Amino acid sequence: MTTLLLLAALVPQQLLITTPRGQVSVPVMTERGAAVAAVLLTPALGLSASIDGSAVRVTLGGRAFLFTLGSPFVRCDSSTYPLVDAPYTARDTLFLPLQWLTDQVPRLFAGRYHWDPALARLDEVPPPVAPVASTVTAAPNPLTGLRLTHTIVVDPGHGGVDPGNPGLHFPRGLTEKDITLGIGRLLRAELVRRGLNVVLTRATDTLIDLADRPLFCHTSCDLFVSIHVNSMPAGRRQTKINGVETYFLSDAKTEDQKRVAQMENDALRFETATTIDGPLAFILRDLQLNEYLRESARLAELVQGRVAGIHPGENRGVQQGPFLVLAAARRPAILVEAGFATNQGDGAFLASSDGQRKIASAIADGIVAYLLEFERKLAVGTGGGAR
Ligand SMILES: [Zn+2]
């Protein structure tokens, strides 16, 4: 990860950059006697920088800004613009005038970025979903109240040679992979009915590598939702434990959380050799620096609440675990453990078409609730965040 520092004559205590894919708060510090803001450059925010000699290339929102160290100008789309100060580097860190981000970026992107000096916030406004004239006054979806288009990646766990957990209480030789696919397809239908775009990581009984699943979450993707079925190892509690829990990516805190993460990451043994420690540890550190964890936790809370409301088993709450499938999504990402295949009541519910439909509908409701909150935060369309 690169760190970019922005020079400013007049800086707030901190900056906030918000995008449809998340937000980053930016601490302010003092450098060379002037106050500067430090921006963590995460690719998810569409901001990156590279330096070659004295040439500096900064990419933001898909456009390249070309700076030269020591020269108070920036080039963009073959035009040159003056800066209040020249960019420089110190201690492997690039310093740019804050004016570039707060003044030039909003102007050059013509409405796509908005700098709010009172809130010290740079907002990326999502691209219009319809012709601009109708977008401003776009009516909310009558079913959901949502105003923007959203794309959800739905990931039915396991598949193909990886059956997932066989459980004890699935009829007719069903395994976890069949249940997750059933719920995943129904979830797609429920989300489409609510006016959302959906990408399934698999629509058939096939195996997708864990590390490849998040790649379905492209730039237009808002959320990543993985669906699984829980199981207890043999022992006294095996058939007793029941209920639903929703995970977001973090370090496992309890033995139970470790067990579930280990079980789901176990699909790795069906794949080409991958070690979980190296890349996951790195991605986890990376993720902990940004806001996706908080967003994922909120999404998990809303989905868990809805699913627990219709589930015959216990409400086991929101959990945290180091899931490889969530690690690379770079979007709010959750994993729903929709019940225990080792429990009779849960097993029957999960295997029934009525149970799968109820679970899918509840997950869809939780997703819509999250997106409504998210749009309210962006104050989409109304300028005041009404609704
Ligand atoms: Zn699973």
How remote is the CA of residue 357 from the centroid of ligand 1, in Å? 19
User: What distance in Å separates the CA atoms of residue 106 and residue 124, rounded to the nearest whole number?
Assistant: 9
DSSP state for residue 189 in the 8-state scheme: H
pTM of the model: 0.62
How remote is the CA of residue 265 from the centroid of ligand 1, in Å? 8
User: What distance in Å separates the CA atoms of residue 66 and residue 237, rounded to the nearest whole number?
Assistant: 62
User: What distance in Å separates the CA atoms of residue 340 and residue 47, rounded to the nearest whole number?
Assistant: 42
Q: In DSSP terms, which residues pair with 318 in a beta bridge?
A: 246
Q: Provide the 3-class DSSP secondary structure of residue 38.
A: strand
Cβ 113 vs Cβ 124: under 8 Å = yes
Within its chain, how far is the Cα of 29 from the centroid? 28
User: What distance in Å separates the CA atoms of residue 312 and residue 111, rounded to the nearest whole number?
Assistant: 49
Cβ 23 vs Cβ 42: under 8 Å = no
How remote is the CA of residue 275 from the centroid of ligand 1, in Å? 18
Residue 239 is predicted with a pLDDT of: 94
DSSP state for residue 295 in the 8-state scheme: H
How remote is the CA of residue 230 from the centroid of ligand 1, in Å? 7
How remote is the CA of residue 12 from the centroid of ligand 1, in Å? 46
Q: How many CB atoms lie within 10 A of CB 2?
A: 15
Residue 41 is predicted with a pLDDT of: 40
Q: Provide the 3-class DSSP secondary structure of residue 87.
A: coil
User: What distance in Å separates the CA atoms of residue 71 and residue 369, rounded to the nearest whole number?
Assistant: 48
How remote is the CA of residue 267 from the centroid of ligand 1, in Å? 8
How remote is the CA of residue 74 from the centroid of ligand 1, in Å? 50
Cβ 39 vs Cβ 47: under 8 Å = yes
DSSP string covering 258-292: HHHHHHHHGGGGGSS---SHHHHHHHHHHHHTSSH
Q: Provide the 3-class DSSP secondary structure of residue 146.
A: coil
How remote is the CA of residue 151 from the centroid of ligand 1, in Å? 23
What is the full per-residue pLDDT of the chain (387 aa) written as tens digits?
445 555 443 455 566 777 776 766 655 554 554 444 444 344 446 667 778 888 888 887 778 888 888 877 788 887 777 777 777 777 666 777 777 777 778 877 777 787 777 777 888 776 544 333 333 336 889 999 998 889 999 999 999 999 999 888 888 789 999 999 999 999 999 999 999 999 999 999 888 888 778 777 766 788 999 999 999 999 999 999 999 999 987 767 788 888 888 888 877 666 544 444 444 555 554 544 456 778 899 999 999 999 999 999 999 999 988 887 777 666 788 999 999 999 999 999 999 999 999 999 999 999 999 999 988 887 644 444 333
User: What distance in Å separates the CA atoms of residue 2 and residue 70, rounded to the nearest whole number?
Assistant: 20
How remote is the CA of residue 264 from the centroid of ligand 1, in Å? 5
Tokens read off for 93: 């860190």
User: What distance in Å separates the CA atoms of residue 113 and residue 111, rounded to the nearest whole number?
Assistant: 5
How remote is the CA of residue 226 from the centroid of ligand 1, in Å? 9
Closest CA to 16 of 93, 125, 116, 99: 116
Within its chain, how far is the Cα of 45 from the centroid? 11
Q: In DSSP terms, which residues pair with 247 in a beta bridge?
A: 319, 335
Closest CA to 38 of 119, 100, 94: 94
User: What distance in Å separates the CA atoms of residue 164 and residue 157, rounded to the nearest whole number?
Assistant: 8
How remote is the CA of residue 290 from the centroid of ligand 1, in Å? 27
How remote is the CA of residue 231 from the centroid of ligand 1, in Å? 9
Q: In DSSP terms, which residues pair with 252 in a beta bridge?
A: none
Q: What are phi and psi of 142, to 5 degrees?
A: -60, -25
Cβ 343 vs Cβ 238: under 8 Å = no
DSSP state for residue 172 in the 8-state scheme: T
Residue 171 is predicted with a pLDDT of: 82
How would you class 200 by CB atoms within 10 Å of its CB: exposed for 0-12, middle for 13-18, buried for 19 or more?
Answer: middle
Tokens read off for 146: 């949502």
